[in-house]
């Protein structure tokens, strides 16, 4: 696998997941746009500007997905949508789920085609597909 030329990390805000028999049935996540970090100085500020992610008016990226395959307990395939800047786009995530008692860790991957992103086409990053790797720690809430 080739190393990424550019990388970014964004922190999750809130989310919920429905797990049933070792399989993620549904997942909803809100990612905080203001928490974007990159390996290139000032790139995050440029990406969060009003012509790109517009963090001031659209502070979250929303991901909603449901299970489309549950043939193996450790393999996860989710189909759904993500919402960015008020627009919804199709999303296909696949990966693995590992359980540790009341906790689970999901490692999910997705290739986002350049048409789904809303930057000006003349910018170099928008002409290439974007590989998304999502790592989520799922914690069972305490009983009420």
> Residue 116 — very low, low, confident or very high, per pLDDT cuts 50/70/90?
very low
**20 located within any domain:** yes
Q: What is the pLDDT of residue 138?
A: 79
Nearest to 130 by CA among 21, 27, 54, 38: 38
- Asked whether the predicted pLDDT for residue 54 surpasses 50, the reply is yes
CATH number of the domain that 111 lies in?
A: 2.40.128.110
Residue 1 in any domain: the answer is no
| pLDDT category of residue 115 using cuts at 50, 70 and 90 | low
More confident residue, 63 or 118: 63
Q: Is residue 3 part of a domain?
A: no
Kindly state the average pLDDT of the residues 41-70.
Answer: 74
Tell me whether residue 132 is in a domain.
Answer: yes
- The verdict on residue 42 lying in a domain is yes
Cβ distance 99 to 106 under 8 Å?
no
With bands split at pLDDT 50, 70 and 90, how would you rate the model's confidence at 31?
Answer: confident
| 87 found inside a domain | yes
Q: What mean pLDDT is reported for the chain? A: 74
Determine, yes or no, domain membership for 88. yes
Check residue 64 and give its pLDDT.
87
pLDDT exceeding 70 applies to what percent of the chain? 73
C-alpha Rg value of the chain to the nearest Å:
16
Structural domain including 46 reads 8-139
Answer yes or no: is 2 within a domain: no
Per-residue confidence (pLDDT) for residue 127, from 0 to 100: 56
Residue-level pLDDT at 2: 60
Domains: count for the chain: 1
SS3 content of the chain, % helix, strand, coil (to 5): 10, 55, 35
pLDDT at 94 over 70: yes
Band of residue 117 on the pLDDT scale cut at 50, 70, 90: very low
């Amino acid at each position: 696998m080739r190393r990424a030329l550019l990388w970014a990390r964004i922190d999750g805000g809130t989310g919920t997941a429905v797990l049933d028999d070792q399989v993620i049935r549904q997942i909803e996540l809100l990612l905080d746009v203001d928490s974007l970090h990159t390996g290139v100085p000032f790139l995050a500020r440029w990406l969060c500007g009003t012509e790109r992610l517009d963090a001031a008016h659209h502070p979250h990226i929303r991901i909603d997905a449901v299970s489309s395959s549950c043939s193996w307990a450790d393999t996860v395939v989710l189909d759904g949508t993500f919402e960015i800047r008020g627009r919804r786009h199709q999303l296909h995530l696949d990966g693995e789920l590992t359980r540790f008692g009341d906790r689970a860790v999901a490692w999910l991957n997705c290739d986002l085609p350049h048409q789904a992103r809303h930057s000006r086409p003349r910018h170099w990053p928008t002409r290439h597909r974007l590989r998304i790797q999502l790592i989520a720690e799922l914690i069972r809430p305490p009983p009420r």
